């Protein structure tokens, strides 16, 4: 390679600097052209890209062994959450079915006393 090595602690600083520089460049271009802020969709896509970049940098900083261990733990947590959501969904459907099967309450007859 070129002989330049990065330590793990330098990566977040470089990513933060890149994000600040890109934002500043976009703001300058938008002000120069007189265009308003970007649409909601563009901002959402930009935010999604930053999240993906953050995850990739985080995994690269951890290294392959730690990233593998972390993904195993994350998969276990996701499985527990999926199980809990499935249970809640089942209970909701069961309650709706029970309520639909009950006869409607009869209205009170004001003539009876």
pLDDT at position 68 is 80
* pLDDT, the chain, mean: 78
Task: Spell out the long-range contacts of 49-53 with Cβ–Cβ below 8 A and sequence spacing 24 or more.
Answer: 50/19, 53/15
Taking each helix axis as running N to C, give the angle between helix 64-101 and helix 40-62, from 0 to 180 degrees, rounded to the nearest 10.
Answer: 130
pLDDT at position 38 is 66
Q: Which residue has the higher pLDDT, 36 or 82?
A: 82
For residue 62, what are its two tokens?
Answer: 């951890």
pLDDT in tens, 57-74: 777 777 778 878 888 888
In the chain, what percentage of residues exceed pLDDT 70?
82
The yes-or-no verdict on residue 1 having pLDDT over 60 is: no
> Averaged over 15-43, what is the pLDDT?
79
Q: Which residue has the higher pLDDT, 3 or 103?
A: 3
Q: Length of the chain, please?
A: 113
Sequential DSSP letters for 11-64 = HHHHHHHHHHHHHHHHHHHHHHHT--PPPHHHHHHHHHHHHHHHHHHHHHHH-H
- Residue 11 and residue 57 in contact, taking contact as beta carbons nearer than 8 Å: yes
């Amino acid at each position: 390679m070129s002989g330049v090595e990065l330590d793990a602690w330098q990566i977040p600083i470089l990513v933060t600097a890149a994000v600040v520089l890109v934002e500043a460049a976009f703001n300058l271009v938008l002000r120069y052209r007189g265009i308003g802020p970007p649409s909601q969709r563009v901002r959402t896509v930009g935010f999604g890209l930053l999240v993906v970049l953050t995850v990739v940098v985080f995994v690269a900083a951890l290294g392959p062994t730690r990233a593998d261990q972390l993904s195993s733990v994350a998969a276990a947590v996701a499985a527990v959450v999926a199980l809990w959501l499935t249970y809640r969904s089942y209970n909701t459907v069961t309650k709706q079915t029970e309520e639909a099967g009950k006869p409607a309450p009869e209205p009170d007859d004001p003539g009876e006393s």
